[in-house]
Every structure is written in structure tokens, then in C-alpha cells.
Amino acid sequence: MRLIIQKIFVVAALFSAFSLQAAERPNIVLIMADDVAYDNNFGAYGARESWTPRLDQLADEGITFEHAYSTPKCTPSRVKIMTGRSGIRNYEAFGVLPSTETTFAHMLQRAGYATHAAGKWQLDGKGGTPTSEAGFDSWILWNTQFGHGSRYWKPNFDVNGEHVTFADDDYGPDLCVESILDFVDQNREGPFFVYYPMLLVHGPFKPTPDSVNRENTNQQENFKDMIQYMDKCVGRVVDGLKQAGVADNTIVLFCTDNGTNRVLQYESFGETVSGKKGVPHDRGTHSPLIVWNPKYIAAGARSSDMIDFSDVLPTLAEIAGADLPEVQLDGRSFWPQCIGEAGARAPRDWIFQYYWPKSWSWIPDELGNEELIGVQNQHYKLYGNGLFYDIAKDREELSPIPLNQLTAEQQQTYEALKKAIASMPETNAAYQRKIMNGR
């Protein structure tokens, strides 16, 4: 197993530090867990029973963002975070990263970074590869052009373009972590970029190597074990950075791609709730966001500023001193907040949400079942069809505020959000083509 993983880095090691100036740039590790909401047993976000001690430690030593948002599903979140662009501009279909898009890996490659991806891909709907389509020098990924197979025990992975089926007792998340640690060791002179879209904690809900009962079929119990193992994997990556002597010069970001699976329940601020993956409200889109670095970021910082997934690419650009892609971006860097210079740049007043639903039955009838467009701030949300919610009090958007009963403050917010919607494109071109072609 180890020999196969080490094959990844023969080429990638050659991309290390073009110059002393390049070597002094911070390394970047971006971790994105799969299918877990911000209020799902993260101690950093107030869980009574924390399942994530290593992530809680990163939050204690770094900055925690209280209002970060993904999209409701995995593919649109992946396309958005990688390109810095709203889905209304570039989302084409589930499982597709448009080949014309410039990703954060392309951007960082051009700035002299070695780039590596490990985990879940699910973006090869057009038959592309991570290296030609997305800018990675090396990778170990599940769900590429080689098919879907197993991601956990006896996994099937794309390792640098080679289809590899591992042994029965090999666990996919462990292979991903080992690949990252090998890559860091090979590129410790820097600068490097690791994109770690985790396999955990997406279903099927199976026992982990740390599960007491390796035959357990209880989804709830296995899900808890999987979150704890997810946390362990994050800890192993951070420990590896320290052991390689590069932690002080490495920025680690952690987020999640969408809400928790709908078949699961969990405790959230004193109540038992069901997962709302796929639904475009707070439980489906509110992501944890923790940024850690012992040299640049003050310990224990918290921010209530709004962060959108499109903000990640420009943030990485500012960290790396990289040139932004020459396209219309929707994001803005949140690096000033990370390093305590929040006053240097005005925070967002709103974020734009675009959702072209894949799972129609999950969408409330009043929102329709075609394109969903909305804008929100920390307290209110307005949809393109005029539905207006107090999301600070009504997180699941059960009771829209009657527009003829708005307070003066609500009216002012409503008008501002309405203006924000008007500032964005009215529709997605790929969606309109499907409509014209009768789907």
C-alpha cells in the first residue's frame, strides 16, 4: 500500500520552490469534510457533546467563522470553492467541473506551488482528469473517470491516472492521509498546496478502523464513529505538518460541503434535528470554517463576518501572492479577518445563493423546483420569488414574513437584499439550454 502511495510524488517533488522567495510563501492545506452541518457535534460551534477534539483544538488555536456558507449539495459546492464563482455563472450539471474554468490549483501552480488532491472528486462528468482539468500535479481520488466503487474498505482510487483497487483491510481515508503526509514530506521546502476533499462522513455509514464493533450496521452509531475518525484524520494531517517542520508556515483551512445526510439525526443546541443535506436553508448550507496557523493567526479568534465558498479562491490568492484568474469572480478574500485586520476591508453585506436542484422532492413546494435564487445576511434571507425569512429565528424557513407586515428595519433589509439579487445574473445559461432542449 505504502509503495503505491509513494508513486504519486516522483513528479510532484520536482515542483518544489522555484526560488527562495517562493519557498517563503505560506503552504496551504484546504480540508473539506463531506456531509456534516456546522451544528453537528463540533465543540467549536457550541455542541454539548463534542465529537471533534482535534478540530476544537484548531479553533482554540486559530480563528472560527460563525457565518460561513456552502451550497446545499456536493458538486455545486466543489465547483464554487474551486473557482471562486457563483453557480449561476458556471454550474452545468451534477458531477461536472467545466473544462473552461480556472481553479485555485491552476492559480497556485502558476504561482510556483506544488499541488496535490486527496479524497472525493466527483467532477469528471465530461471525462476530464484532475491534472488536465483542475491543475493538480498529483492525486489520489475516489469517483473519477474510473467509476464509483468503494471509498472506505477495499477502496477503488485513481492514483495519478492509474486505477488501483486496494486490499480488503485498506481503509480509504487512511490512504488519503498517508498520501498527504508523503506529499508534505517530499515538498517540505515549499511552497505547496494540498486540497483534501474528505471521503468522510458521506454514506454508506460503515464502521471505521476505530469502531469497537466492526460488524455494526447501525447507521447512527457508525456515523458518530465516522465523525470521530474524520476528526482524527484532520489531527494526523496537522501532526504531520509539525513533524515535517512546516506547521509555522502552513495555513490550514477546514470547512464542510453541505448539511448532514437526511437519514440521520443529531443534537443541535439542545434539540434533536434531522439532517438537511440538499435543502437550501441554514441546516443545508451553514458550514463550519476554522482557519489555523500558529504564526499568522491569533489563538481563539472568532468572526461573525459572512463568508461564502466563492471567497476561498481569492483568500488563497492573497495568502500566496498569486494572480487572480482573469474572469468574473464573486468572492473576496477573508485573509484580513484571519490575521486581525478586519477593519482593512469592509466585510460582506450579503451572500448570493444559487441552487439548481438535483433532488426535486427535497425542495419545499413554495420555492418551486427549478432554479432557486436567494440572497442572505446573518439575519434575513430573500428568495427571488419574494419569500422573505428571519433566518436567525427560523433556521428551517418554515414561516415567511408577510411583506405587508415588515418593520422599518425589515423593510430596509428587504430592499437591500432585493437590490443584491438584481446585481447578479438572472439565470444560468446551461440551465436555459436544458430548458430549451426539453431537458
Nearest in space to 286 (alpha carbons), one of 73, 38, 80: 38
pLDDT score recorded for residue 123 = 92
Q: What single string gives the DSSP state of each residue in 58-106?
A: HHHHSEEEEEEE--SSHHHHHHHHHHSS-HHHH--STTB--TTPPPHHH
Give pLDDT, residue 363. 82
Ordered per-residue pLDDT tens for the chain, 439 residues: 444 555 444 434 333 333 335 457 999 999 999 999 999 999 999 998 999 999 999 999 999 999 999 999 999 999 999 999 999 999 999 999 998 999 999 999 999 999 999 999 999 866 567 877 799 999 999 999 877 899 999 999 999 999 999 999 999 999 999 999 999 999 999 999 999 999 999 999 999 999 999 999 999 999 999 999 999 999 999 999 999 999 999 999 999 999 999 999 998 888 899 999 999 999 999 999 999 999 999 999 999 999 999 999 999 999 999 999 999 999 999 999 999 986 667 899 999 999 988 777 778 778 877 899 999 999 999 999 999 999 999 999 999 999 999 999 999 999 999 999 999 999 999 999 988 886 5
Nearest to 33 by CA among 238, 279, 257: 257
Q: What pLDDT is stored for residue 11 in this prediction? A: 38
**DSSP of 280-344, one letter per residue?**
SSHHHHEEEEEEE-TTTS-TTEEEEEEEEGGGHHHHHHHHHTPPPPSS-------HHHHTT-GGG
Sequence ranges of the domains in the chain: 2-344, 364-436
What is the pTM for the complete model shown?
A: 0.94
Conformation bin of residue 131: beta by default, left when phi > 0, alpha when psi is -120 to 50: alpha
Asked if the 2-344 domain carries CATH number 3.40.720.10, the reply is: yes
